[in-house]
């Protein structure tokens, strides 16, 4: 095992309370200190260091655990984390097998604790269920980075990296308002994910709030289950219930494969559709202009990659050089931008495959 860094602060930094909300691409620039890119250009595959943050330091051993890659977005989470770690010769990444078994994931974290890793980047299958073992890791002096699904205690992680589910709804609703041009009679439909999940509730609330600002409401709504089959079934039911639609927001681009199949089967094209999450195939369709898909709202699949970058900075005792404050923020919430034909080339390089 590589030598551990003995001088880097861990629990002492817990008192920092700064919260930062930045876009996924901006965050990458802040933590790796890459030179800013010209608008409309794709991300470079090799970061150009402009400060000593990217210079090699003491080896940082990072354990990584996430749910099973049974969904395009989740698969991209793990792939991006591995790719990010490979950029740094001073990072040794140990990847646990993806699992939806809470007991197994707890066991994985216990193994990392016993191995005395420097940091753990953890996307928990269930945030509440993994809180206790994550707290044990923190108590053992291990830096824990919580990704996407929050723990139920602030003491379970040094830093949390989140997407913005409410912001996704706001972005989708704002775009639809702008496209419909104040048509108060417009019929807006919504294809949600799993209604029992807080993330779905947050996305729907943000969507409703944004639509209300331009005098619109959701006329027809169905819930799927984040799967292709569920998206197809729910959309078929929606289209039968709504003979006329002006705009649809689908929460998830993976289930959107089924959504589009149902739309094609029904022969409907009088509306435009906004996707959610930001898959590569959806972005390619937006770019080609060959379907009802007109836009998608990004839910970054780079969150764990950002966790790797932040874990390295924290363990090596570094700060985010683009901030005036010392240290790394306690929470980073990523922006939910709308991708259209005009800016799709900027986002395609970091998109995931559905």
Q: Which domain holds residue 192?
A: 165-298
CATH number of the domain at 116, please: 3.40.50.2300
Task: Please state the domain count of the chain.
Answer: 2
Same domain? For 38 and 110 the reply is yes
Same domain? For 199 and 309 the reply is no
**pLDDT one-digit tens code per residue, 70-125:** 888 999 999 999 999 999 999 999 999 999 999 999 999 999 999 999 999 999 99
The owner of tokens 């269930």 is 126
SS3 320: coil
pTM over 0.75: yes
Same domain? For 142 and 241 the reply is no
Same domain? For 133 and 180 the reply is no
In this structure, is residue 207 part of a structural domain? yes
Rg (CA), the chain: 21
What whole-number distance in Å separates Cα of residue 94 and Cα of residue 70? 20
In this structure, is residue 143 part of a structural domain? yes
In this structure, is residue 235 part of a structural domain? yes
**pLDDT one-digit tens code per residue, 184-228:** 899 999 999 999 988 999 999 999 999 999 999 999 999 999 999
Same domain? For 208 and 222 the reply is yes
What whole-number distance in Å separates Cα of residue 41 and Cα of residue 21? 22
Same domain? For 265 and 315 the reply is no
In this structure, is residue 86 part of a structural domain? yes
Same domain? For 32 and 152 the reply is yes
In this structure, is residue 85 part of a structural domain? yes
Same domain? For 128 and 34 the reply is yes
pLDDT at 51: 58
What whole-number distance in Å separates Cα of residue 36 and Cα of residue 46? 13
Same domain? For 156 and 174 the reply is no
In this structure, is residue 352 part of a structural domain? no
């Amino acid at each position: 095992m590589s030598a551990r860094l003995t001088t880097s602060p861990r629990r002492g930094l817990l008192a920092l309370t700064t919260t930062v909300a930045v876009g996924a691409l901006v965050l990458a620039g802040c933590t790796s200190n890459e030179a800013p890119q010209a608008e409309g250009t794709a991300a470079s595959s090799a970061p150009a260091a402009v400060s000593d943050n990217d210079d090699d330091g003491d080896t940082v051993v990072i354990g990584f655990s996430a749910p099973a890659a049974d969904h395009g977005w989740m698969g991209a989470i793990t792939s991006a984390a591995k790719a990010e770690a490979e950029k740094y010769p001073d990072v040794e990444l140990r990847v646990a097998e993806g699992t939806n078994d809470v007991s197994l994931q707890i066991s994985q974290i216990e193994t990392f604790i016993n191995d005395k890793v420097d940091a753990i980047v953890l996307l928990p299958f269930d945030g509440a269920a993994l809180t206790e073992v994550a707290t044990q890791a923190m108590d053992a002096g291990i830096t824990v980075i919580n990704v996407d699904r929050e723990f139920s205690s602030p003491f379970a992680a040094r830093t949390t990296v989140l997407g913005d589910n409410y912001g996704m709804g706001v972005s989708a609703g704002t775009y639809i308002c702008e496209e419909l041009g104040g048509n108060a009679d417009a019929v807006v439909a919504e294809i949600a994910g799993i209604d029992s999940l807080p993330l779905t509730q947050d996305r729907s609330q943000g969507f409703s709030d944004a639509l209300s600002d331009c005098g619109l409401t959701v006329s027809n709504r169905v819930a799927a289950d984040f799967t292709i089959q569920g998206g197809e079934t729910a959309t078929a039911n929606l289209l039968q219930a709504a003979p006329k639609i002006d705009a649809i927001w689908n929460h998830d681009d993976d289930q959107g494969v089924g959504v589009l199949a149902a739309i094609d089967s029904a022969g409907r094209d009088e509306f435009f559709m906004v996707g959610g999450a930001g898959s590569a195939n959806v972005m390619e369709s937006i770019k080609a202009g060959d379907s009802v898909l007109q836009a998608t709202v990004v839910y970054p699949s780079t969150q764990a990659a950002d966790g790797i970058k932040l874990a390295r900075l924290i363990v090596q005792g570094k700060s985010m050089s683009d901030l005036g404050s010392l240290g790394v923020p306690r929470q980073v919430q990523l922006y939910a931008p709308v991708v259209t034909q005009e800016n799709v080339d900027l986002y395609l390089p970091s998109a995931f495959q559905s």
